[in-house]
Structure 1
Amino acid sequence: METITTGAWTGHLGRGLAPRELECLLDVAQGMTSKEIARHFGISEGGVEKRIAAAMFKLGVARRAALVAEAMRRQIISPLCIVLAAFISMHAMLDDGDPMRRDRRAPERRTAQVRIVRKAEAFEHHA
């Protein structure tokens, strides 16, 4: 299956949207306005509006935010951070015996030491 990657988003072709509609949707997901998308593709702002309206009709939504949410729900688009997180978790499962990996200790010791010092200081002030 073919994908289109724009910025921090990836879109999957063949899931109900035309390629240009998907590209416009990915730019909408990045927070771009119709004017910015038109400049990006070198087309008119009206052309962008028509493509976004067509995508909204196909997915059955009335607003841009709902368009992005519905496209994510139908797995037409996905943010790359999800792909990166999945890759990192798969890597951690495959290579669990990494000698360079260090886990942080719980900060309990430091908290206990601070409490002891503060109690000692308070005792000195009262004496």
Structure 2
Amino acid sequence: MEATIVSGAWKGHLGRGLAPRELQFVLSSAQGMTAKEIARVFGVEPGTVVKRLSNAMFKLGVNRQTAMIAEAMRRQIISPICLALATLIAVHAMIGDDAMRRDRRAPERRTAQVRVVRQSERPALTA
């Protein structure tokens, strides 16, 4: 069985190129945490977090943290946990259970009412 690390709404897989601490910091970064926030949570110096994240970026061959997260997702090192929920909903819909479907009403058509007035019926404007 493969070892995983769960952090918030993200799951990281060990043994796919990143050290355990690097993976923890990448997962925290994927949650939108800054280096100072990550350092506070893990009880390390912010410089340690920056160094570990730069090591992870080097290993993944990228120069920015957003690219690091995208590359880690592409290589399936990290994945959002919500994908499991989306898969469950998709499978449930394929089974054919109508309770999951939402009935939609037909869109209402809005029509403008136009009134044609004859020349003789128009009120006369006088000055």
Distance 1:2 1:105, change over 3 A: farther
Would you tell me which structure has more helix in proportion to its own residues?
1
Q: Aligned-pair RMSD on alpha carbons?
A: 2.0
SS at structure 1 position matched to 2:79: strand
Q: In the aligned structure 1, how far is the partner of 2:54 from the partner of 2:100?
A: 52
Q: CA deviation at 1:100?
A: 7.2
Spell out, residue by residue over 1:45-83, the C-alpha distance to the aligned partner (whole angstroms, 9 max, x if none). 121122112211211111111111110111111222323
Q: In the aligned structure 1, how far is the partner of 2:9 from the partner of 2:58?
A: 25
Which structure 1 segments of 5+ residues have no match? none
SS at structure 1 position matched to 2:24: helix
Using structure 2 for the length normalisation, give the TM-score: 0.80
Q: In the aligned structure 1, how far is the partner of 2:85 from the partner of 2:101?
A: 19
Q: CA deviation at 1:101?
A: 4.2
Q: In the aligned structure 2, how far is the partner of 1:71 from the partner of 1:17?
A: 9
Aligned residues: 117
Aligned AA for 1:123?
R
Distance 1:56 1:99, change over 3 A: closer
Q: In the aligned structure 2, how far is the partner of 1:3 from the partner of 1:17?
A: 12
Q: In the aligned structure 2, how far is the partner of 1:91 from the partner of 1:49?
A: 42
Using structure 1 for the length normalisation, give the TM-score: 0.80
Distance 1:89 1:100, change over 3 A: closer
Report the counterpart of residue 97 of structure 2 in structure 1: 97
Q: Percent identity?
A: 60
Spell out, residue by residue over 1:23-52, the C-alpha distance to the aligned partner (whole angstroms, 9 max, x if none). 100111112111100001111112112211
Q: In the aligned structure 2, how far is the partner of 1:35 from the partner of 1:100?
A: 43
Distance 1:98 1:41, change over 3 A: same
Report the counterpart of residue 123 of structure 1 in structure 2: 115
Report the counterpart of residue 67 of structure 1 in structure 2: 68
